[in-house]
Structure 1
Amino acid sequence: MMPAKFRMSKKGVGQLLRSPTIQGEMERRANVIESVAVSIAPVGEGAWDPHPGHYKGSFKVTSTARGGRRRDRATATVRNSAYYARWVEYGTEKVRAHHVLLRAAQAGGRG
C-alpha cells in the first residue's frame, strides 16, 4: 500500500485562514469569552462608584477576515470600552487586579 502524499498550498492555507468558517469560529469563541467576562465582571456598590455596572455593560466583540499582524487571517477581539477597564484588569497601587478578560479567556476560550 502506498503512503498518502500531501502537498501544502500557501495560497490555500491563506484562503482557509480568511474563510467565513474560520471567522465564524473566532467570533463564536469571542462571544463565549465575552459572556464569561460579563458574568465575572465586578460591579461597584455604594456612593464610591458613580457608575455601577458601566464596566460590566461595556464589553464588545468585533471580528474581521483581515486581522493579525500581517492582516492575513480571520480574528475576533473582545474589548471593554470603559475608560477605566485597564485599571480593573491590571489593578493599581490602591485597587487589586481583577484580570477579568484573562480569566474569561482561560475559562471560556474552549467552550
Structure 2
Amino acid sequence: MVRVEMVRRAELIKSVAESIAPVGGPGDPHPGHYKSSFHVTSTLRGGRRRDRAIATVSNTSYYARWVEYGSERTPAHHVLLRAAQAGGR
C-alpha cells in the first residue's frame, strides 16, 4: 500500500519534470532526448527488515547532471528539484 503511494508520487514528479524540461533549439542534434529520458523505479529496501518502500525518479540522459546542476557554460535548470517541490503531493 505504501509502495503504491510512493510510485504515484514519483509519477507525479516525473510528469512535472517532463513538462518543465528544457528542449534544445534548432541546432540541437537530439532535441527532446532529455525530456524523454525520465524513468520511475521502485523497490523495497531500508529499515531493519529491508521492507521500506522507495520510488525514484531519474533521468538516463548522459548530460542530465549538467542540465540539473549547470556548468561553466550552461546555467543550472534544477528540473528534478523544482519538480519534486511542485509535484510530490
Superimposed CA distance per residue, residues 33-71 of structure 1 (whole angstroms, 9 cap, x where no aligned partner)? 000000000000122x1100000000000111x234764
Q: Which residue of 2 aligns with 1:101?
A: 80
Q: Which residue of 1 aligns with 2:2?
A: 22
Q: Which residue of 2 aligns with 1:40?
A: 20
* Structure 1 stretches of 4+ moved >4 Å: none
Report the Cα distance in structure 2 between the residues aligned to 1:69 and 1:61, rounded to whole angstroms: 21
Cα-Cα RMSD: 1.3
Report the Cα distance in structure 1 between the residues aligned to 2:76 and 2:47, rounded to whole angstroms: 28
Equivalent pairs, count = 88
| Partner amino acid, structure 2, of 1:97 | A
Identity, in percent, stands at 72
Choose the corresponding residue for 2:30, options 46, 51, 75: 51
Report the Cα distance in structure 2 between the residues aligned to 1:108 and 1:60, rounded to whole angstroms: 15
Structure 1 unaligned blocks of 5 or more:
1-20
Q: Which has the larger radius of gyration?
A: 1
Alignment TM-score, normalising by the size of structure 1:
0.75
Structure 2 unaligned blocks of 5 or more:
none
- 1:87 Cα deviation after fit: 0.3
